[in-house]
Structure 1
């Protein structure tokens, strides 16, 4: 086979290169095998990554067992939960681009022949996939797996419950001692936080798109099966290399549609929209927001995992995992089952023996939570290029809502008003200048949504923003409003007390003013001048595109 590494280590002119490998203790036998980059996001600052060294060692064992030379290469990763609610969150989404760039840089610079991606949390998963797509090498993704749910007074809890508890404390509904009890029990193990938040959403979709082995999305981080899956992933990438099956053979227009279908059935995070758009861009696949509603119209929502419901990832695993969800969708021919996956088999072959083992966790397709999918794209005079809502996590009484705007030019201003009890039932909280450019960095806003939920206002107050919400957010939380305020979007001309109309079933989001008034306001609108920012975040602000394009860089 023709190997990329031949350009680095073969022939007399590459003797200096080989000498540097020998300086690291490599042998001739190792250099005569394909070089497989094992891209590891291990660190001691992310609970989803604290155990990845063990996953990496298992991957390397699998690569060695099947004739390759594994080489560990590090990747950065931001913990969204730790970065939440302060300036650190401005760096979360931008880190996706740094990760993609580093995968591209390291693989090309060192002539790697294949890749095993070992991420787990939020932006790290799409970032690694984006970088791998630029290289188009044989690639397998194996994540670190989900965290177990916590237990408090016999009730399963996870990180979203923890954030909501802060709101309850601020409203005087629980004591500081009770808050302390919850914080010590919400996150009981390593792994990606236990609900269908962004990390687990992306790990499930990596499996659904065909880039990860069956089980990747749901096998808990602390289970021995996760290590076995890592070994099999290392073995699998060598088979892909032998068969010359590359990542772009797996991630295609049809496999992206499969991922979207699973997204709708599972009720994944709104952040999946940003990431699937960015992944499709790197794969040179046409994808826009209109397709998301088309898929949503066809695919029913079968799961209500936290924050939409009381179940967590370990229960989804026991109920049959992603394979069971996919098998259920085939009953209505909602998947392309003839596509190749990293198993070397088709999707149809992978799931032929799968079935639902617990109908309380995965509903049969004949009895879904709703006939439409978990996400919806809204359009209107506030969002001419779209906005995103996790429809499956919205209370029925909030699917259609009309109320007065409470306008804030930053998340910090909004959270202060919420904590001070200034937001009332029926209000529509508008948070702007938090988009990709305006933030910059498009902060996740779990604090305001969780505060409202903790204060029992999530079924009577809506939020809209040109920023984004965490996968752990629930309620009528509408994000990614595009164009953003900093780019002259109409969210910037909303005034305190304006009436906002939300109609999620009909995909609409509108400011209730006349066309003439809207035109006059837009004509006179001058976006707030943003402070000049130095360093990487400043470069990001200058280069980033809008959220309806996936907040990619240009």
Structure 2
């Protein structure tokens, strides 16, 4: 045993006397030999496997391939579980628990004898929560995403989770019966992996690769493909080298890396949820990133990836076309090329030799798939601190629009009214949903892309301007204004909008305006009742008391900044 080991884990396993005896003896009960504790890097495999998170249900096997790579490089792998956030099943919303999971990750890493960490994540919130937690500790860290599922099939056609919205509306309109829906759901999710489109999970996988936190190619390899296991193996070896070279999270997550991620997100048509998660991660490492940066650095980037929901194809197709590496090669003239990544190479070194195999799926920078891309940040008296819209998923005819508000006070009110035949609404109306923000719901659910009123579905209306302080699934689409800040429950102007008020949206001018005088707005705010308190104990109360607004990333205020890897007390 190397008593002089510089490893962080040596504070546990390199000790003499009873302390080292205790630490090593309990580990040896798992059949570990003495040379496992000779000063080699101890690598934590942070696993979000759970049968309640179907997207991550293959992570037990994936972890074994990470271990092979760790052993091969001379490391000592130890797998541990953390809270897993299943987007498909958790109520009231997985977003409510993102910050809680990040705390679990942070404290699990800090409290244990780890020199480096591999993050196994896939489903929407598992990626940002794990990165937020690991970034707060600042050890060498690498991300292995679970990968997208194979493209769904139904009656000879490709389908995906984006089709849920279309099929649901068709069912409500009487154009698709329940039996057909049942048949479609049986063919939609036909393999391991997360959503097959550029939804939030795939957006997060692209985000970590663009940030430099994963090996090249991580974002798009399908979950069932053997190449995903190979990448996990190589990632296990890479984390050992990161420990040996002392390459920490803070060395990778620079301001330039965040700017790169924003540009890549625009080029792939990533989810609006990207905004919240990137801002939260930046807050953990002390990078000065703001909402306006999301617009500034994406404005000059066209849409290159022809992927649903903004385009036609699927993540599986993106992989066959060359994956995210090809997209990043196309963007090299715009990116910060010298940013370092987990493998010690720069962005340019990693991607400058990539080749595209299908230009229908990945367009060149000079002939983009769509000139509209990224996230547009709106400002105005209806969203003093900002709101966002994804123009590539919106209807061109509605990008500049004025209409009368049809207001839903909360999600239950919306469900009660939306199909009422007497609802005073037409296709020019603006649907407004309040109290679905971080505090108001609480947790900020994916309900912003409200379904069309039944009476308009019957007329064939497929899109309207919709505004809320909530979020939208990355698989969703439409002319949907999201993340209005401040939210209704935190005193925002959204909370005083009434039926019939005129609202103007101008995406080109970055404006969202409520046609009321400042005096009228102030008077309505003064007369408004206080927001309800949803919890009086436990984490939800903590969340409501400390969650920040959407324009800041909706993290808890006391989690800002990197707290480091030092353990404050020694119990032995």
TM-score (structure 1 length as normaliser): 0.95
Q: What is the 5 A alignment of 1:231-380? A: 231-330=233-332, 333-380=333-380
- Aligned 8 A contact 2:303 2:374 in 1: yes
Query: Which residue, out of 44, 54, 76, partners 1:47?
Result: 54
Residue 415 of structure 1 is matched in structure 2 by 415
1:20 and 2:26 matched: yes
- Aligned 8 A contact 2:305 2:363 in 1: yes
Residue 133 of structure 2 is matched in structure 1 by 131
Q: What is the 5 A alignment of 1:29-44? A: 29-32=35-38, 33-44=40-51
Residue 6 of structure 1 is matched in structure 2 by 10
- Aligned 8 A contact 1:130 1:282 in 2: yes
Q: What is the 5 A alignment of 1:48-63? A: 48-63=55-70
- Aligned 8 A contact 2:448 2:467 in 1: no
SS in 1 for 2:119: strand
CA distance in 1, matches of 2:372, 2:284: 28
1:463 and 2:466 matched: yes
Gap regions ≥5 residues in structure 2? 558-572
1:71 and 2:78 matched: yes
Q: Structure 1 residues 515-524 or 193-202, which shifts more?
A: 515-524
SS in 2 for 1:185: helix
Instruction: Tell me: CA distance 1:171–1:156, structure 2 relative to 1, closer, same or farther (3 Å).
Output: same
Give 1:359 shift. Answer: 1.7
Query: Which residue, out of 434, 437, 448, partners 1:435?
Result: 437
| 1:312-347 deviation per Cα after TM superposition (whole angstroms, max 9, x unaligned) | 1011111121111111112xx210111111122111
Give 1:149 shift. Answer: 1.4
Give 1:493 shift. Answer: 0.8
SS in 1 for 2:55: coil
CA RMSD of aligned residues (A): 1.9
CA distance in 2, matches of 1:156, 1:350: 32
SS in 1 for 2:405: strand
| 1:467-510 deviation per Cα after TM superposition (whole angstroms, max 9, x unaligned) | 11111110011111000111100000100111111111211111
CA distance in 1, matches of 2:459, 2:553: 32
Give 1:154 shift. Answer: 2.2
CA distance in 2, matches of 1:206, 1:515: 43
Instruction: Tell me: CA distance 1:243–1:413, structure 2 relative to 1, closer, same or farther (3 Å).
Output: same
CA distance in 2, matches of 1:118, 1:449: 34
CA distance in 1, matches of 2:460, 2:377: 23
Query: Which residue, out of 90, 113, 117, partners 1:111?
Result: 113
Instruction: Tell me: CA distance 1:412–1:177, structure 2 relative to 1, closer, same or farther (3 Å).
Output: same
CA distance in 2, matches of 1:447, 1:334: 32
Q: Structure 1 residues 216-225 or 349-358, which shifts more?
A: 349-358
SS in 2 for 1:121: coil
Q: What is the 5 A alignment of 1:537-548? A: 537-548=540-551
- Aligned 8 A contact 1:409 1:431 in 2: yes
Gap regions ≥5 residues in structure 1? none
Instruction: Tell me: CA distance 1:457–1:312, structure 2 relative to 1, closer, same or farther (3 Å).
Output: farther
Residue 492 of structure 1 is matched in structure 2 by 495
Give 1:412 shift. Answer: 2.9
SS in 2 for 1:340: coil
Query: Which residue, out of 476, 480, 483, partners 1:480?
Result: 483
Query: Which residue, out of 95, 115, 120, partners 1:93?
Result: 95
Residue 511 of structure 2 is matched in structure 1 by 508
Judging by fraction of residues, say which structure has more helix.
Answer: 1
SS in 2 for 1:317: helix
Give 1:239 shift. Answer: 1.1
- Aligned 8 A contact 1:160 1:450 in 2: no
CA distance in 1, matches of 2:518, 2:404: 18
Alignment size in residue pairs: 547
Instruction: Tell me: CA distance 1:460–1:48, structure 2 relative to 1, closer, same or farther (3 Å).
Output: closer
SS in 2 for 1:448: coil
SS in 2 for 1:297: coil
SS in 2 for 1:275: helix
CA distance in 1, matches of 2:429, 2:63: 49
CA distance in 1, matches of 2:310, 2:540: 33
1:80 and 2:87 matched: yes
CA distance in 1, matches of 2:315, 2:79: 28
- Aligned 8 A contact 1:296 1:372 in 2: no
CA distance in 2, matches of 1:181, 1:420: 29
Q: Structure 1 residues 179-188 or 423-432, which shifts more?
A: 423-432
- Aligned 8 A contact 2:122 2:146 in 1: yes
Give 1:450 shift. Answer: 8.2
Residue 395 of structure 1 is matched in structure 2 by 395
1:200 and 2:202 matched: yes
CA distance in 2, matches of 1:303, 1:374: 12
SS in 2 for 1:205: helix
Q: Structure 1 residues 177-186 or 510-519, which shifts more?
A: 510-519
CA distance in 1, matches of 2:349, 2:84: 34
Q: Structure 1 residues 459-468 or 540-549, which shifts more?
A: 459-468
